[in-house]
Amino acid sequence: MCGVVGYIGDKEATSILIDGLEKLEYRGYDSAGLAVFHDGGIQIRKYKGRLSILAENIAEENLSSKLGIGHTRWATHGEPSDRNAHPHTNVAGNIAVIHNGIIENYMKIKEWLIEEKKIQFKSETDSEVIAHLIDHFYEGDLLQAVYKAIDKMEGAYAIGVICKDEPDKIVAVRKDSPLIVGIGEGENFLASDIPALLKYTRDMYLIENDEVVLLTKDKISIFNALGQEVKRDVFEVTWDAQSAEKEGYQHFMIKEIHEQPKGIHDTLMRRLDKDNNIILDGIKLTKQDLEKINKVYIVACGTAYHAGLVGRFAIEKFAKVPVEVDVASEFRYRDPFVDENTLFIAVSQSGETLDTLAALREAKRKGARIMSIVNVVGSSVARESHDVFYTWAGPEIAVASTKAYTTQMIAMYLLALYMGRTKNTIDKAYYDQTIAELKTMPDKVQQILNHVGEIQQLADAQFNNESVFFMGRGVDVNVAHEGSLKLKEISYINSFAIAAGELKHGTIALIEDGTLVVAVATQHHLFEKMLSNIQEVRARGAYVVAVAKESNKEVEKTSDIVMYIPDTMDELAPVLSIIPLQLLSYYIAVARGCDVDKPKNLAKSVTVE
């Protein structure tokens, strides 16, 4: 969601803020702005549109400063516009605020400020009330005014505040929205994600929920909700800044698609010893632990939810435990059957997805054992889980997730195989066969990536379609759902996925001449049924693109074109079959002239409900 950056030190703040915001563009935004202490007062500059508009306008001025805060906004309350962009100020303009999240009771606060304080609001946002509320409580101590203000606020927020009368400090707060502090020498930094600060420091503090931070150029003080100062270990970032750069690729998305062999290899091999035993590091799941578990919940959002669907298939097949997969935004509102015998698995690339965090906390409150599969070390989901299974995808910048999805699936397979062997629900021969095949996945993914030309030609021929159907059976339908999501989120094509057996229960009415249908057909025991479904849509004029194993030439008789994947076990086919669908979506979006890395209305880390 919104990007937050702050700087205090002896260097030029404006350029650091712009640079930091640039590194957060992947989060999705529709306006950008900054507030800096300049010439005895706070100067605000903010514009609707891309960060480049702000940067170009700033370049024409001499806004020299040693302190400032910057923001990229993803609209929730109020349309994208200059006046709704952040930072927001109080009436006098001597307090400036940036905010990521939602103030749920903002209307009640706003009505009180209008009635009692006669405030005239400049924007339609919920965020503006923060500046006026802090101003109401300000009596010469910004930190205490912020404490009093947040006591009246409900919702989720990461905020940064500066004040004209205290030009030597920044105050920041975190509640359910990500916030980190960068540690420098004679300078300190604030941001909503690590890439914004990597150019300047690798030493960070990960701010916990309900904590308040006071930054000066020489000191960082972290306080809990009671105002007590707390100590925090320094988190050292080990990956390099180059990992968050395009390295010659046109977009981050295609770069990350091509990084999947490495991500799969690293996620897999870091969990296997020399005898191919699965090592879960600090996770202790004994046979006795697993026998107590009578149900598994996998809860996630978007692409991570689709990885969870594959996880359900794997755990039920290998470990013989019933699994329910739920959308995180719905989980806690339906009074789920969760208790101390439940294993709750939260899946999130960023580890900061607010809906997933809320679901995790609900399951934890009910006594469930919490395991998370996340990509970001030290993220909120990871910190609030009993057990953490990290993927090794590396930083994922593109809004449309690719390498996080495939590494999440690898994590699911490893967890399911570990559970199966521990419970003796699969024998060693089958385990060895599956591990051996998993180890071939990086090379087999690379084989697909070595032949992207045919997929690019298909995309160039089909990019004008405005309605596309994906279908599959068994675990293939889970891949179909992810393929459909990839297409719709970056190309804006009206796309959806169905179980192929459901065609005749309504969807087939939409098939007409030229309708593009993508049929995922990798499951041997369901292949004949898939052929029948393909014939049904072709008989009504559909143009069928099939995804099948390279040894299965039979599919060519009923399809217009086939995207082949290397032969593999049916159980592991999703790791390979998603690759051509990612590539097809990418090249269609490029052919349509879409901004692939920053699709409209979307954000990388969704930190509001």
Q: How much is the pLDDT for 220?
A: 97
pLDDT-derived band at 156, boundaries 50, 70, 90: confident
For 451-601, which CATH class?
A: alpha beta
Q: How much is the pLDDT for 417?
A: 98
pLDDT in tens, 357-383: 999 999 999 999 999 999 988 888 998
Whether residue 529 lies in the annotated active site: no
pLDDT in tens, 582-601: 999 999 999 999 989 888 77
Whether residue 366 lies in the annotated active site: no
Pairwise CA distance, residues 197 & 270, whole Å: 28
Helix (H, G, I), strand (E, B) or coil at 278: strand
Tokens coding 156:
């989720």
Tokens coding 282:
């600090």
- Domain 3-238 coded CATH 3.40.50.2300: no
Which run of H or of E encompasses 273? none
By the 10 Å C-beta count (0-12 exposed, 13-18 middle, 19+ buried), 246 is classed as middle
Pairwise CA distance, residues 98 & 34, whole Å: 9
CATH fold for the domain made of 244-439: Rossmann fold (3.40.50)
Catalytic-role residue among 2, 163, 301, 594: 2
pLDDT in tens, 92-136: 999 999 998 889 999 999 999 999 889 999 999 999 999 999 999
Pairwise CA distance, residues 231 & 478, whole Å: 45
Catalytic-role residue among 48, 549, 598, 604: 604
Q: How much is the pLDDT for 467?
A: 87
- Report the chain's mean pLDDT, rounded to a whole number: 92
- Number of CB atoms found within 10 A of residue 572's CB: 22
Pairwise CA distance, residues 46 & 565, whole Å: 48
Residue 54 clears pLDDT 80, i.e. is over it:
yes
By the 10 Å C-beta count (0-12 exposed, 13-18 middle, 19+ buried), 148 is classed as middle
Q: How much is the pLDDT for 472?
A: 96
Give the closest residue to 513 by CA, choosing from 547, 536, 543.
543
Give the pTM. Answer: 0.79
Q: Kindly write down the DSSP assignment for every residue of 363-385, as one continuous string.
A: HHHTT-EEEEEESSTT-HHHHTS
How many helices (H) does the chain have, and how many strands (E)?
19, 25
Residue 348 clears pLDDT 80, i.e. is over it:
yes
- Would the CATH topology of 244-439 be identical to that of 451-601? yes
pLDDT in tens, 492-539: 999 999 999 888 888 888 888 888 999 999 999 998 999 999 999 998
Residue 605 clears pLDDT 60, i.e. is over it:
no
- Number of CB atoms found within 10 A of residue 138's CB: 20
Q: How much is the pLDDT for 62?
A: 82
Residue 241 clears pLDDT 80, i.e. is over it:
no
pLDDT in tens, 158-217: 999 999 999 999 999 999 888 999 999 999 999 988 888 989 999 999 999 899 999 999
Helix (H, G, I), strand (E, B) or coil at 389: strand
pLDDT in tens, 275-318: 999 998 788 889 999 999 999 999 999 999 999 999 999 999 99
Q: How much is the pLDDT for 3?
A: 86
What is the CA angle 489-494-500, rounded to 5? 105
Domain ranges of the chain: 3-238, 244-439, 451-601
Q: How much is the pLDDT for 158?
A: 92
